[in-house]
């Protein structure tokens, strides 16, 4: 809940900073890709990438912005996945309980990753680490995560476009 509030406050602040947002929008879609990539690559630490996408939605095509930012964000999530894959050797793979836990988590990993990729929650890093630790195939991980991130970023860009249009016309910022 605090993460969502921070995104909304950050996006509103960015919306009032026309010069800053216009500077980012001059870089176009490349800036959204780069910010989303870096923002998602920071494991555990929050980054303001989604707030910028909300603000850029008022200046760029929301659908194309969602696709480009979703790809950047999905590729950035590889850092958590690789951390989980590297840490896999630290966990013992023996025992009936471990086998049961592995079976249950692998069954639900794909739909859970997709849903978590859409939601603006900071817990996705843990899901990426778990997917790597479970040795989910990297191409499946990328396909699922990028698909969810595209949906999330396109919705954010569209909401940002509508919200900032309403605020700018009503309050004249």
Q: What is the pLDDT of residues 70-94, one digit of tens each?
A: 999 999 999 999 999 998 766 555 6
Q: What confidence tier does 22 reach under pLDDT thresholds 50, 70, 90?
A: low
Asked if residue 169 has pLDDT above 90, the reply is no
Q: Which two tokens stand for residue 9?
A: 């406050």
Q: What is the CA radius of gyration of the chain?
A: 18
The Cα–Cα gap between 109 and 87 comes to 18
Range in 5-14, 121-130, 141-150 with the lowest mean pLDDT? 5-14
Number of domains in the chain: 1
Bigger pLDDT: 163 vs 27 = 163
Structural domain span for residue 71 = 2-171
Q: Which residues contact residue 100 at a Cβ distance below 8 angstroms, ignoring those fewer than 6 apart?
A: none
CA distances 114 to 14, 75, 131, Å, are: 28, 14, 12
How far out from the chain centre does Cα 48 lie?
10
Asked if residue 138 has pLDDT above 70, the reply is yes
């Amino acid at each position: 809940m605090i993460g969502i509030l921070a995104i909304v406050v950050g996006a509103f602040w960015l919306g009032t900073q026309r010069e800053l947002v216009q500077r980012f929008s001059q870089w176009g879609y490349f800036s959204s890709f780069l910010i989303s990539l870096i923002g998602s690559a920071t494991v555990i630490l929050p980054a303001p990438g989604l707030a910028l996408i909300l603000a850029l939605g008022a200046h760029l095509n929301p659908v194309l912005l969602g696709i480009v930012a979703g790809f950047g964000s999905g590729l950035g999530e590889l850092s958590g996945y690789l951390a989980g894959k590297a840490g896999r050797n630290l966990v013992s793979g023996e025992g009936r309980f471990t086998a049961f836990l592995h079976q249950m988590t692998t069954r639900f990993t794909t739909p859970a990753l997709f849903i978590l990729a859409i939601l603006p929650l900071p817990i996705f890093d843990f899901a990426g680490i778990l997917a790597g630790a479970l040795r989910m195939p990297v191409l499946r991980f990328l396909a699922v995560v990028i698909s969810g991130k595209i949906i999330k970023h396109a919705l954010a860009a569209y909401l940002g476009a509508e919200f900032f249009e309403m605020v700018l016309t009503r309050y004249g910022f």
